[in-house]
């Protein structure tokens, strides 16, 4: 059983098995979200669309996540959380089947949005469940396990989807994700604890949770998350054509490089999960600043094979080192509204996932080449460093005000 918050060091807290099951489910969701980067070229050829237009399928998924996270979090606020998770996974699985059978680009686009709605709801509710199962001083570790599902998706799921897409057609990747979602559904049914909906004063209250949006620290956290995600996805969405058309790698190498990005992501998740609880803003500063540098170097050195591959690995490390800290920061800033905190985190990540590929596509369509998407990402990451600085200053100021208020109340009581 988790200890009382503040009594144990984060490393001493035992994370429940159910949190790992949520991470396993996120593996299926993440594979679907990211796998298009590995099958973008065969998909575009089969459906008769351009690479930038095919890249909009990434944005379609992200738009569904942005809309779905807060809407479904609010709609399911009073439902049992495990029941909600099971239902959302079932809808997601059906969305993958629809994508596999899609006869046209337009039908595939719609299926991506619907799948994303279910994915967003699962992320929002699942994140709230994960942090509720651990003490406050282990939130970053719990979120690191969920984010780790994305890392493993990049290591195994995305390269496997890319390989399937090349060997058996891009539709086979969608069938594989549907099967993964079914496995995750069984795991949630068997191992995530059944919890009753709180009643009385503890009952979920949408109006009370909506008050978090009055706090400028919540908005600063939202913007920082969106900028960091946009920086990574501006590049990642077009990584395959960058590797083949700019670095000159054979298309058959793309799954291996995507796997390296995933390995970097897993390393980053482990690092971030271990240090973020104790050094929240330091992890945010270091990770986002490092991503800025990596993206700028990639823009300059993209034509060199070794540099392109090594920097893709490094971007995985820097981006995912930051992720647990960004998640924990949002939950700390919106502590009174855990469900909407999870929804807001999901939405803000996917605002970045929408804007990043869109801006990257504009750069490509303008004739600046695939390497230009790295410059787009570097600019967004640099802006994320700036918002982190503002957020840190506001946080420090609020702590000083709170300490001063406490001292005044104490002096008044003693008088």
pLDDT tens digits for range 169-184: 888 889 988 988 888 8
**CATH value at residue 26:** 1.20.1250.20
pLDDT confidence band for 402 (50 / 70 / 90): very low
* Residue 2 within any structural domain of the chain: no
Residue 9 lies in a domain: no
Q: Out of 126-135, 217-226, 231-240, which region has the weakest mean confidence (pLDDT)?
A: 126-135
Residues 6+ apart with CB under 8 A from 119: 29, 32, 33, 61, 64, 65, 68, 88, 92
Q: Nearest to residue 321, comparing CAs of 350, 284, 281, 294?
A: 284
pLDDT at 276 over 70: yes
The Cα–Cα gap between 167 and 173 comes to: 10
The answer to whether residue 4 scores a pLDDT higher than 50 is: no
pLDDT at 288: 92
What domain range includes position 174? Answer: 14-194+207-414
What's the total number of domains in the chain? 1
Statement: residue 411 has pLDDT above 60: no
Task: Among 81-90, 205-214, 291-300, name the most confident range.
Answer: 291-300
Q: What is the pTM of this model?
A: 0.68
Let me know if residue 202 belongs to a domain. Answer: no
Q: Has residue 3 been placed in a domain?
A: no
| 379-397 mean pLDDT | 87
Residue 114, domain member (yes or no)? yes
Domain presence at residue 72: yes
Q: Taking the C-alpha atoms of 191, 25, 63 and 216 in order, what is their torsion angle to the nearest 10 degrees?
A: 60
Whether 203 has a pLDDT exceeding 70, the answer reads: no
In a domain, 247, yes or no: yes
Q: Which residue would you say has higher pLDDT here, 264 or 8?
A: 264
The larger pLDDT score, comparing residue 321 to residue 141, is at 321
């Amino acid at each position: 059983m988790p200890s009382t918050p503040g009594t144990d060091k984060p490393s001493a807290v035992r994370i429940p098995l159910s949190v790992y099951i949520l991470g396993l489910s996120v593996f299926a969701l993440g594979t679907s979200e990211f796998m298009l980067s590995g099958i973008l070229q065969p998909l575009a050829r089969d459906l008769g669309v351009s690479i930038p237009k095919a890249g909009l399928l990434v944005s379609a998924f992200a738009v569904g996540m942005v809309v779905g996270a807060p809407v479904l979090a609010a709609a399911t606020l009073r439902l049992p959380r495990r029941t909600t998770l099971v239902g959302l996974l079932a809808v997601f699985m059906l969305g993958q089947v629809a994508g596999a059978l899609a006869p046209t680009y337009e039908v595939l686009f719609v299926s991506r949005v619907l799948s994303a709605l279910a994915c967003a709801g699962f992320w929002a509710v699942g994140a709230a469940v994960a942090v509720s199962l651990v003490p406050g001083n282990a939130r970053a570790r719990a979120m690191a396990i969920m984010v780790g599902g994305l890392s493993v998706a990049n290591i195994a799921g995305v390269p496997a989807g890319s390989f399937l897409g090349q060997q058996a057609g891009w539709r086979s990747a969608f069938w594989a994700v549907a099967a993964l979602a079914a496995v995750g559904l069984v795991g949630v049914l068997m191992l995530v604890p059944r919890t009753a909906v709180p009643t009385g004063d503890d009952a979920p209250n949408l109006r009370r949770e909506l008050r978090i949006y009055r706090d400028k620290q919540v908005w600063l956290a939202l913007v920082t998350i969106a900028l960091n995600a946009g920086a990574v996805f501006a590049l990642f969405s077009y990584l395959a054509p960058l590797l083949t058309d700019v670095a000159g790698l054979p298309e058959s190498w793309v799954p291996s490089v995507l796997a390296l990005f995933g390995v970097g992501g897993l390393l980053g998740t482990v690092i971030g999960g271990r240090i973020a609880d104790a050094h929240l803003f330091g992890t945010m500063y270091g990770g986002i600043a490092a991503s800025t540098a990596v993206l700028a170097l990639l823009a300059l050195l993209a034509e060199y094979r070794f540099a392109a591959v090594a920097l893709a690995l490094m971007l995985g490390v820097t981006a995912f080192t930051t992720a647990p800290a960004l998640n924990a920061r949002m939950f700390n800033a919106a502590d009174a509204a855990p469900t909407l905190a999870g929804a807001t985190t999901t939405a803000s990540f996917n605002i970045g996932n929408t804007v990043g590929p869109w801006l990257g596509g504009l750069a490509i369509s303008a004739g600046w080449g695939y390497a230009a998407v790295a410059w787009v990402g570097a600019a967004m990451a640099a802006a994320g460093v700036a918002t982190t600085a503002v957020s840190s200053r506001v946080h420090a100021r609020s702590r000083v005000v709170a300490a001063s208020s406490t001292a005044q109340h104490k002096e008044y009581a003693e008088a």
